[in-house]
Amino acid sequence: MSARRTAVTLAAVGALVASCSSPEPAPPQWGPELAGKVTVDAVYGHLEKLQQIADANDGNRADGSPGFQASVDYVAGLLRDKGFDVQTPEFERLSGSRGGKPALTVAGRTFRVEQASLMITTPPGGLKAITLRPRKPAGCAAADYGDVDVDDAIAVVDDNGCSIVQKQRVAVDRGAVGVLVVSQATPARPVGAPPTLFTAGYYNDLKVPVGVIDPSADAALRRTEAPVTLVLDNKPVMSTSRNVIAQTATGDTGNVVVVGAHLDSVQSGPGINDNGSGVAAVLETALQLGAQPQTTTNAVRFAFWGAEEIAMDGSTKYLRSLSPDQLDDIALYLNFDMLGSPNAGYFTDDGDQSAQAEPNVRAVPEGSAGIERTLAGILNLAGVRPADIPLARTTDYAPFLAAGIPVGGLTSGSSQRKTEVQARLWGGKAGAPFDPNYHTRLDNIDNVDRDALGIMASAAAYAVGTYAQSIDGVNGVPARDQRDRRTP
């Protein structure tokens, strides 16, 4: 189905529903109305502008680069021209660490150690302490330690079972002054590590020195009961970035619908599908909704995040800047990332956790399943059969999940490979990635499937309009007085 026909179909279905529901003149149905207004030509036009920005700035729009700043200016300028009060709040992010010589000294012999606690260093001269181990090597729960007292010791754990943050948290609760994780993988080279070990931005949540050692250093530790010396002396290097935030001037500010897409690319390419496509869809939706829609019920806040490709720092820092009341004011979060993949799939984020036998995210906020149903229904209206994609901890909805905010979103897929069943369902090439140019210099304007982009952008607009009008019903989210959010 063509993108233009999709928009017309979505608008027509919405109008039919409205006309049959009441003999009185019905108010505008913002879902189908926005779906009809957000055209693929307009969305594609934003992608062309982002490509021009990348071309003029060393081929990328990476966070901290001139290309990213130009992308911020482009998005903020269009929103201001449309009458939005646009904020571009700055935040600091970790851009690296340097200057030291991390090492672990055991019985006079020095071993290599990777500094995982990028924001935390050891005292001058290093941390001197004995090393002790939990009864169960993972160290993911207090029960793993049994009767082992690690007070004032360095806890040594393996890399299985949970994140490095959880291992450190449990060890510190048991009195440990540092942690060593035995692994062949490192934060800089996580290949081979359990997928839950190095979560995005994990270093922000470490409170004591944490290092990663290999099995040879671990073997040396097992041969001694004497104190060792741990030196983690790389100093953090901080950079400044920006988000772009714009909210409608009308609508209930106690039920804010937040809609987001990350604005930065990777350094290796212009990032037109990842995530210019999401940015373009959200931007055009904002422009078509307008700064002061008169018949919507809820305020809508549009967010364009910085530093997602680094560690989701933009969305995380933003949520951490809000008070508990401001977090409770957020009704839900919609995330749009990669909407025009050339070997496209049509995925909704898995709010009901049905897509996996062992969920990556165990505590999914109430209302997320309803958002998934809404998005799946919209894609069905557009003539494509949706599938759900497992929730992860590596994109901008993750801090919203951690805050207890219902989430949902759309994606057309990244480096995952399309199955035979998916190819029969959606067309395209089985066995090939949804986006074969993911995170490369070839993620340019020619890397976007216009039909997929049109369907997904129109569906995104339909969802925004739907929730701008109502958060109630079977596919709604908890009311304001039922929320108890937390800082992520």
The predicted model scores a pTM of 0.82
Report how far apart, in Å, the C-alpha atoms of 333 and of each of 97, 354, 468, 471, 479 are: 33, 20, 12, 12, 14
Q: Which amino acid is at 358?
A: E
- Given a cut of 90, whether residue 479 has pLDDT beyond it is yes
Give the CA-trace dihedral at 70, 75, 77, 79, to 10 degrees.
Answer: -170
Structural element, H or E, at residue 255 = strand 252-262
Q: Which residue would you say has higher pLDDT here, 112 or 12?
A: 112
Q: Where are the domains of the chain?
A: 3-93+240-482, 100-233
* Residues 100-233, CATH architecture: 3-Layer(bba) Sandwich (3.50)
For residue range 285-312, list pLDDT tens digits in order. 999 999 999 989 999 999 999 999 988 8
- Given a cut of 90, whether residue 30 has pLDDT beyond it is no
Nearest Cα residue to 339 out of 468, 463, 467: 463
**Residue 129: its pLDDT value, please?**
98
How crowded is residue 148: how many other Cβ atoms within 10 Å of its Cβ?
14
Strand bridging mode 114-115 / 210-213: antiparallel
Spatial separation of the C-alpha atoms in residues 448 and 9, rounded to whole Å: 22
At 94, the pLDDT band (50, 70, 90 cuts) reads confident
* Topology annotation, domain 3-93+240-482: Aminopeptidase (3.40.630)
According to DSSP, residue 417 is labeled B
Kindly give, in sequence order, each residue whose CB lies less than 8 Å from that of residue 25, ignoring residues fewer than 6 positions away: none
Query: Which token pair is 48?
Result: 């062309």
Kindly give, in sequence order, each residue whose CB lies less than 8 Å from that of residue 288, ignoring residues fewer than 6 positions away: 34, 37, 38, 461
Q: Which residue would you say has higher pLDDT here, 20 or 101?
A: 101
**Residue 27: its pLDDT value, please?**
52
Q: What percent of the chain has pLDDT over 70?
A: 92
Active site residue 308: yes
Query: Which token pair is 85?
Result: 């009060």
Q: Which amino acid is at 414?
A: S
Contact between 62 and 263 under an 8 Å Cβ cutoff? The reply is no
Residues 387, 315, 88, CA angle at the centre, nearest 5°? 125
Active-site residue identified among 114, 284, 308, 372? 308
For residue range 343-378, list pLDDT tens digits in order. 999 999 999 998 875 555 667 999 999 999 999 999
Spatial separation of the C-alpha atoms in residues 370 and 55, rounded to whole Å: 41
Query: Which token pair is 241?
Result: 């970035």
Contact between 30 and 466 under an 8 Å Cβ cutoff? The reply is yes
Q: Which amino acid is at 128?
A: K
- Given a cut of 80, whether residue 474 has pLDDT beyond it is yes
Phi/psi at 70 (nearest 5 deg)? Answer: -65, -35
Nearest Cα residue to 439 out of 317, 270, 320: 270
Spatial separation of the C-alpha atoms in residues 249 and 294, rounded to whole Å: 10
